[in-house]
Chains A and B, each alone.
Chain A
Amino acid sequence: MNRKEVSHNEIPPIPGAADLLLTTTPGSPGAFSSLLQGGFFFHTRRGITLNEMLCSLPGFDQDYINGRIQTIFIDGLPADHLNQTLIGTSAVIAISAAMPGLAGAIFRKNGVHASLRTSQESMQTISRNNDTDTPLLIQLKLFNIIAEEKSEQILRTGCTLSGSSLGKFFNYRLPLLTHIENCMFNGKKTSMEQLRPLLQTTEFIHLSLQEGS
């Protein structure tokens, strides 16, 4: 991808995910940006690099990925290289801007204090299965400024969340419900009171936000 070329790709839903369309009051989709700190899910091909995966996301370009994303975790372990290949059948990836403190510096991508990390050899990592042809399931968490700058576009485009995560979010951010004008769950108009119990029993939900007029 060209450094300035911004991706407008859509993120395909997880097969079997319920469909949820929320219409918000004007100007309020940005208030939902921290929803993606819990991560959203999508499938991609195994063997893709971290950089290729990020470039495929709506609103991301190479300059942004190189400059803004300064802290990366893959399955809880700090990552330094964007050309790292993603293997196995699933991965939890978290991306963040540069962080404060000695800990922030230690975890920073290619940071000068990276030597103060606990060595990955002494940490237990998840086992990888490379023997199947199943696609790679990514859970991508957007933290801090990355979430503020990129979540809104991703939520407008649509992304798949875990139902329980979305339910938890509405539980601790109850005032946000007042920003929701209309709710369509699997194509049917639904009240938020009806929706919230459904979230707890639905594994995946493909959420799209649209702004009301």
Chain B
Amino acid sequence: MADKIFRVNMTDLSTSLEDVPADWAGHGGRGLTSTIIAAEVPPACHPLGPNNKLVFAPGLLSGTAASNSGRISAGAKSPLTGTIKESNSGGTSAQRLAKMGCKALIIEGQPKDDVWYSLSLTPEGVTINTEDELIGKGNFAVVEGVEKRCSDKIGILSIGQAGEMQMSAANISVKDPDSHVRSLGRGGLGAVMGSKKIKFIALDAGDAKVDIADPDAFRAANRAFTKALVDHPVSQALGTYGSNVLVNIINEAGGLPTKNFSAGQFEGHEQISGETMHDIIVERGGKPKHGCHSGCVIQCSQIYNDLKGNYKTSGMEYESIWAMGADCTVDNLDQIAEMDHILDDIGIDTIETAVAFGVAMEGGVLPFGDSDEMIRIMSEEIAKGTALGRIIGNGAGSVGRTYGVTRVPVVKNQAIPAYDPRAIKGIGITYATSTQGADHTMGYTIATEILGVGGSADPLSKEGQIELSRNLQIATAAIDSTGMCLFVAFAALDDETCLPALIDMINARFGISLNAADVTNLGISILKTEHAFNQAAGFTNLDDRLPEFFETEPVPPHNAVWDFSGEEIDSFWNF
């Protein structure tokens, strides 16, 4: 069965199945969402208007037995940044879409009336239904309600109240294998879904399976790939502590942004560290090791129980714990878990929202460390759409503008996550130059040498640092197209069999013969496509800058400042 483009027009409520254009055939995940947005969305359009489109795409390997291949990408013009946006997540939707032969789901237009809808996808196509019962509900009630109506075997993409109210930090939730939710977190894509009046999308693939062109070659490559992942020490650390293992390390380096980026170390870091979280989870009968999608062999997620041993939340990432913890000077993991649960239910990005709280604390809206008030504001203000709730729900930039705060850690209006760029310069280059605003996942630790993008400049010079960051972003864009979790990067960095095995799997899946150079060219093409869209939308080199305070305020304990010039940053795009 050939893959199709599933298209939904919410203006006239029509649907269609289309052949995949030849230009799109080699793309998946981020490569495909960005290619479609660049081709079909007017760059200057309003992100919440009828001319924006919301695109979902599984990765090239999603739906197969390839380890860690269950990531789904969503793309649109972002209401938070105004740039092109791709956000990806685990959960069960990538595999459902791939198995039903959906190369991409494109949602365009906008209903003229005030009626809410849901979409139902099967291998036969898309059905649009009106929706009343679940409007105004949080994501957990939506998942429960849709499963009761349909089946617990289906995939679900949904928005909470934040998406319905089109808040700029609203995310899209993705049902996971336990009927909890993961998030297409960053950039406000939930607001785009809300602007199209779609509360949820049900994905029923039935018994459909993905075709593999060369099953034997695929199995052999997957064995080698899986072994590289399982054997790698970073995978072992992630499986034990989750990504929150980074709290102690980044704090030790003086790069853990604390109290709205006014310091680089947090006195309460031990209370919120991955080590402490692991012990608490074990003590309460939770699961320190847990997969966000079937086929994950790293299992960096976890099930966190409350004091009574009942489920509270799952999949708390380092960046979320940092944002609600150190950035707001909250040193209580139970309070952070409560906030994580509330934000998942409302459907709003934990990083953006918590950084917005940090700015609000600086602006005197609430005291630093007041987690009880944070919980109240989340439940009673953001979820209900009060004026304060909407100010915070529209992100850190919104709070800074409203309350006259100058220390606002955003790039292209998206909150900077978890790693202070004064103490860790390499990440600062990524934050400044990313096509999608500040995002730590845009330049990951891919084995650039294997892809032939290792760089030629002196690695210790600023020129060399920018070249390496560029090459990391190129390689990351390519990996984001495969449906692979970025955590495969660590094995790819150290095990010379890992990346070739990944390319072998793509070749065996489609019966093609890509090589490393093709993968690199794919990454270059994606970055250039995204950059061109942003330029057409009005962005210039002056938007590739970190906030001024990083240059003028030394961050303790090392008192480093950001010292890259605009000219040096601009050289990033010389390729």
Contacts and interface: CB of A to CB of B under 8 A. Distances in A.
Interaction A to B: yes
Interface of A: 31, 33-34, 37-38, 68, 70-71, 73, 76-78, 94, 96-107, 112-113, 115-119, 122-125, 141, 143-145, 147-148, 168-169, 172-173, 175
B98 interface: no
Contacts of B232: 98
Given A98-B233, A144-B240, A145-B236, A103 B245 contact: no
Nearest to A72: B252
Given A100-B246, A118-B422, A141 B234 contact: no
B237 interface: yes
Nearest to A106: B426
B248 A141 contact: yes
Given A98-B233, A99-B237, A107-B249, A115 B557 contact: no
A68 to B, nearest CB: 8
B510 interface: no
Contacts of B460: 115, 119
A102 to B, nearest CB: 5
B127 interface: no
Contacts of A102: 426-427, 430, 440, 443-445, 472
Given A100-B238, A101-B246, A141 B252 contact: yes
A31 B426 CA distance: 37
A110 to B, nearest CB: 12
B132 interface: no
Contacts of B449: 112
B280 to A, nearest CB: 8
Contact of B419 (A103, A115, A119, A168): A103
A46 to B, nearest CB: 23
Contact of B241 (A38, A117, A144): A144
A76 B252 CA distance: 5
A105 B446 CA distance: 10
Contacts of A124: 554, 557-560
B426 A100 contact: no
Contacts of B245: 99-100, 143-144
Contact of A145 (B240, B270, B280, B487): B240
A122 B563 CA distance: 10
B34 interface: no
B458 to A, nearest CB: 8
Interface string B240-257: 110101101110111100
A100 B554 CA distance: 26
Contacts of A118: 422-425, 558, 560
B563 A104 contact: no
A70 B233 contact: yes
18 contacts: A37-B275, A76-B557, A94-B252, A96-B249, A100-B245, A101-B246, A101-B440, A102-B427, A105-B490, A105-B493, A106-B426, A106-B427, A116-B425, A116-B465, A116-B469, A118-B422, A118-B424, A123-B559
B276 interface: yes
B249 A38 contact: no
Contacts of A148: 240
Interface in B403-422: 419, 422
B502 to A, nearest CB: 18
Nearest to A142: B275
Contacts of A103: 246, 249-250, 253, 255, 419, 424, 427, 440
Contacts of A112: 449, 493
Contacts of A141: 248, 252
B468 A144 contact: no
A173 B444 CA distance: 35
A61 to B, nearest CB: 17
B233 to A, nearest CB: 5
A77 B423 CA distance: 10
Given A101-B445, A102-B472, A94 B557 contact: no
Contacts of A125: 558
B193 to A, nearest CB: 29
B249 A99 contact: yes
B459 interface: yes
Given A70-B233, A103-B419, 4 more contacts: A73-B249, A76-B254, A103-B246, A144-B241
Nearest to A124: B559
Contacts of B424: 103, 106, 116-118
A186 B138 CA distance: 56
B59 interface: no
B92 interface: no
Contacts of A106: 424, 426-427
